[in-house]
Chains A and B, each alone.
Chain A
């Protein structure tokens, strides 16, 4: 239960932070701009194109918000010294770290929901036939977002914010770290290649790659695969939280 109390605290902290209010405004105006630029499309294909653009913008917004929220949750508490109050309450450190993560995740899920509903509302207004697949697909991105948040939270207590941002852009779901890791010939650049691979194996991208494309465990129904993938993302987040707790034990708060 205490995890949920911390999650509520984290949620309130996110909801009342000025930079996230600014993010909401930015997301809304970007979406309006995208929909306005495509009003001239008359064919179904053209209309679908505008919806796809909207979906991509929404995903980009969610991705950036997840990185930002992950970076500013736990490390925000530490940097603003409010952690000194929060960490001196009768709660396990793991529950505290997990609670902050869950609060941030719920906040991102809210943004995701609002943006997805916006897309569907626009599609309905412009008489574009959208199947439920797209709706489900949008929400299927939430488990990897959870993993991204956890990774950002972990990195943010290890290094300064700009450096965390740099790494997260590469490490997160749609990042380019895998591109670099796969782009080098191992025989020519052994050290660099190995180093890149080590980092690549830590990324949610790699986890997604294993679960969705390689599929060590093939289940006969798609929902099973999704659940397996989601489970791996949650496990990934729990591992990140555990490492974060171990680091915090050695850190001066």
Chain B
């Protein structure tokens, strides 16, 4: 784990921690004689506080889904510890009274109607029958599926399946909700609604752990972000930390632009990470006979930061 990730974890008040992974290791054994080892997680450390909306980012194959599956007990861990609500390896019947999980849209049985699915899951959560009907109506209203409630899920669009997954996750009003790729397949209106639902529940004190590829959504929704690479959490940060970077955006004119610059209108744009790099780039623009039009303090987008961090771990906030 890097210093930044370590520091991020150290700042957290221990009493507020809802979910914690300590040196989480998961090794898959593959092949006929299970001799081929695949180290999916190589010491994941992360802490989620009460009330956090925690975004979990990583490349394909970095270990995001494996981490989630370990957290909710769908996969036995090979090493390390998982502590949820102060309990190490809690039993499913007690754990899932407080925690709910929304899988990817393909992981819901499609032979039921939306309402039937919610009735079955609501009964499993132990919601009383008379309260359940009212609660299901509320939840369907929240995810905008009232009209489609009595249709089979097999006839739902991808976005609707995501929303019914979200509906079953918030049905029991749990303290911690783990969402796996929740924004996948949602149109802009659906994404906005999804964000509103998360904000609404987060304002009530619900904690979210969101495993996602959609960086823009994570940036807008989450107050803390963890980035995993090759089975290790390499960064933990808050989106506001991105504003603290010494990033500069240089717009310039030149007959032949510098190779790392991008076109914008009739100008070329290039980024400098600090003042030293800024002066170097200005000198290079001079050399090629160009003219600097403007220099502005920039804000690194989460996407830029993610690509830099995943490609090169040396970037320091």
Which residues in A have some Cβ–Cβ distance to B below 8 Å? Answer: 2, 5-6, 8-9, 12-13, 16-17, 80-82, 84-85, 87-93, 249-253
A17→B112 CA distance, assembly (Å): 11
CA–CA, A82 to B121, complex, Å? Answer: 13
Q: Is the CB of A93 within 8 A of B92?
A: yes
Write out the residue numbers on chain A whose beta carbons fall within 8 Å of the beta carbon of B99: 88
Task: Looking at the assembled complex, report how far the CB atom of B98 sits from the nearest CB atom of chain A, in whole angstroms.
Answer: 9
Pair B116/A90 contact, Cβ less than 8 Å: no
Contacts of B91 in A (CB 8 A): 92
A-side contacts of B100, CB under 8 Å: 88
Q: Is B56 an interface residue (CB 8 A)?
A: no
A253→B120 contact, CB < 8 A: no
A89 pairs with B103, CB closer than 8 A: no
5 contacts between A and B (CB under 8 A): A5-B124, A16-B111, A84-B103, A91-B92, A252-B75
Interface pair B92/A82, CB less than 8 Å apart: no
Residues from chain B with Cβ under 8 Å of A88 in the complex: 72-74, 92, 96, 99-101, 103
Asked if B108 contacts A82 (CB within 8 A), the reply is yes
Residues of A within 8 A of B95 (CB): 90
> Among residues 84 to 142 in chain B, which have CB atoms less than 8 Å away from a CB atom of chain A?
91-97, 99-101, 103, 106-109, 111-112, 116, 120-121, 123-126
Chain A hits for B28, CB < 8 A: 252
| Set A17, A87, A91, A250: member contacting B111, Cβ < 8 A | A17
Q: B108–A85 contact, CB under 8 A?
A: yes
B230 lies within 8 A of chain A by Cβ:
no
Contact A13 B92 (CB under 8 A): no
Q: Within the assembled complex, what's the spacing in Å between the Cα atoms of A13 and B120? A: 12
CB distance from A27 to the nearest CB of B (A): 21
Judging by beta carbons under 8 Å apart, are B76 and A89 in contact? Answer: no
A91/B93 in contact, CB under 8 A: yes
**Are A253 and B124 neighbours in the complex by a CB distance under 8 Å?**
no
- In angstroms, Cα B91 to Cα A250, docked, is 15
B168 cross-chain contacts in A, Cβ below 8 A:
85
Task: Tell me whether A84 and B125 are in contact (CB under 8 A).
Answer: no
Nearest B residue (CB) for A16: B111
Are the CB atoms of B125 and A82 closer together than 8 Å? Answer: no
> Per-position contact with A for B156-170: 1 when CB-CB < 8 Å, else 0?
000000000100100
Residue B49, interface by CB 8 Å = no
In the assembled complex, the CB of A4 is this many whole angstroms from the nearest CB of chain B, namely: 9
Closest to B125 in A: A90
Q: Are A84 and B107 in contact (CB under 8 A)?
A: yes
Tell me whether A89 and B108 are in contact (CB under 8 A): no
* B297 at the binding interface (Cβ < 8 Å): no
Chain B, residue nearest A82 (CB): B109
Closest chain A residue to B152 by CB distance? A16
Contacts of A16 in B (CB 8 A): 111-112
Chain B hits for A87, CB < 8 A: 73-74, 92
Query: A96's closest neighbor in chain B, by CB?
Result: B92
Q: List residues of chain A with CB within 8 A of the CB of B165.
A: 85
The distance from the CB of B148 to the nearest CB of chain A, in whole angstroms, is 18
**Min CB gap A123→B, angstroms:** 36
Of B72, B107, B121, B126, which is in contact with the most chain A CB atoms at under 10 Å from its CB? B107
Residue of A nearest to B74 (CB): A253
Min C-beta distance of A135 to chain B, whole Å: 33
B6 at the interface (CB under 8 A from A): no
Task: In the A-B complex, list the 8 residue pairs whose CB atoms are closest, starting with the nearest.
Answer: A16-B111, A90-B96, A88-B101, A253-B74, A89-B124, A81-B107, A82-B109, A252-B75
Q: How far is the CA of A91 from the CA of B124 in the complex (A)?
A: 7
Question: How distant is A86 from chain B, measured CB to nearest CB, in Å?
Answer: 8
Query: Which residues from B are CB-within-8-Å of A252?
Result: 28, 69, 74-76
The answer to whether B69 touches A253 (Cβ under 8 A) is yes
Known A13-B111, A85-B101; further 6 A-B contacts with Cβ < 8 A: A84-B101, A85-B103, A85-B165, A88-B72, A88-B96, A90-B92
User: Are A250 and B124 in contact (CB-based, < 8 A)?
Assistant: no
A2→B95 CA distance, assembly (Å):
16
Complexed CA–CA distance, A8 and B121 (Å): 12
Chain B CB count within 10 A is highest, among A80, A84, A92, A250, for A84
Q: How far is the CA of A13 from the CA of B153 in the complex (A)?
A: 13
- A9: nearest chain-B partner, CB-CB: B120
Q: How far is the CA of A12 from the CA of B108 in the complex (A)?
A: 14
Chain A minimum-CB-distance residue to B70: A252
Q: How far is the CB of B299 from chain A (nearest CB, A)?
A: 37
Q: Are B125 and A89 in contact (CB under 8 A)?
A: yes
